[in-house]
Amino acid sequence: MRAPKKSRLDEVVHEIVEKIQSDPDSRFSTEIGVRAAIKSLRELDREVPYRGASMRMPIRGKKQENVEDFKMLIEKIKGLQRALKKLSVPAWILLFSGESDVHSDKFPSPELQQIIERRLRLVTGILNYMRARCDYVLRKRPGEHGNTGYRQRRVAHEAWHLLKRHKKKPAGGTLDSLYGLVASLLWEAMTGEANKDLQRACKTALILARDEGGLWDDSPTIGQGQFPAS
């Protein structure tokens, strides 16, 4: 579905501003915020290359595919760790010294030995981090179930944030409520589809806000654990 034409998009923006900002002196800054929210939603809703096709994807993918990917990855990491442990000392030197003369009979200098040791610690540290991170992700199992309505929930979350920033209480979620109307207008700005009923997505967002004291944003994070220092 295509996004609305510019003239209608401007109308949608102005409708949202009218609903959430009663102070005429503050409407310009509110409009900037609304346009930024719409831009973000439309960017997140773009189709992206995925496994040989082009499709829309949740920020953190689909649950089952995440499980398959990380199970595969952790087995590859374990295999690489086993292979590295089996290397001989000369092989360690050849791998981590960075020397261009791999035929030299000279024993590595103390400086080169320090470089080899530092690189070895870095590589093993990264592999340990990746393995621990894979274990963590597999325990948490993030991602969406199949084709659930993550796009609608994303819009409902953004509507919730807009209302809260402008001291409006998100409630209800039906099209005749302020929350439901703002969510529907954001959906139209993102997809071009007008009068979309997002009541279910709005209710889900309200439950999440109640249970967790607020809504988490969808920005990517490095997550659990620390990268090893170089």
Tokens of 90: 């000369």
pLDDT tens-place values along the chain, 230 residues long: 666 777 899 999 999 999 999 999 999 999 999 999 999 999 988 877 767 777 777 878 888 989 999 999 999 999 999 999 999 999 999 999 998 888 888 888 999 999 999 999 999 999 999 999 999 999 999 887 766 688 999 999 999 999 999 999 999 888 899 999 999 999 999 999 999 999 999 998 999 888 766 665 443 333 334 444 44
DSSP 3-state assignment of 121?
Answer: helix
Contact 111, 61 (CB under 8 A): no
Q: Distance (Å, rounded) from C-alpha 42 to C-alpha 214?
A: 23
Residue-averaged pLDDT of the chain: 87
Nearest CA among 130, 125, 4, 28 for reference residue 70: 130
Task: Give 143-201 pLDDT, tens digit per residue.
Answer: 877 666 889 999 999 999 999 999 999 998 888 999 999 999 999 999 999 999 999 99
Q: Distance (Å, rounded) from C-alpha 189 to C-alpha 35?
A: 10
- Residue 145 pLDDT: 72
Region of residue 61 (phi > 0: left; psi between -120 and 50: alpha; otherwise: beta): left
Give residue 120's identity as a one-letter amino acid code.
L
- Residue 115 pLDDT: 94
- Cβ neighbours of residue 21 closer than 8 Å, sequence gap 6 or more: 27, 30, 166
- Residue 222 pLDDT: 32
- Residue 105 pLDDT: 84
- Helix H, strand E, coil C: the string for 34-66 is HHHHHHHHHHHCCCEEECCEEECCCCCCEHHHH
- Residue 228 pLDDT: 46
Nearest CA among 93, 87, 92 for reference residue 106: 93
- Residue 223 pLDDT: 34
- Residue 66 pLDDT: 92
Give residue 207's identity as a one-letter amino acid code.
I
Q: What are phi and psi of 149, to 5 degrees?
A: -80, 60
Q: Distance (Å, rounded) from C-alpha 128 to C-alpha 105?
A: 33
- Residue 147 pLDDT: 61
Q: Distance (Å, rounded) from C-alpha 89 to C-alpha 71?
A: 31
Q: What are phi and psi of 48, to 5 degrees?
A: -130, 155
Decide: pTM greater than 0.85.
Answer: no
Residue with tokens 């654990």: 225
Nearest CA among 117, 120, 135 for reference residue 77: 135
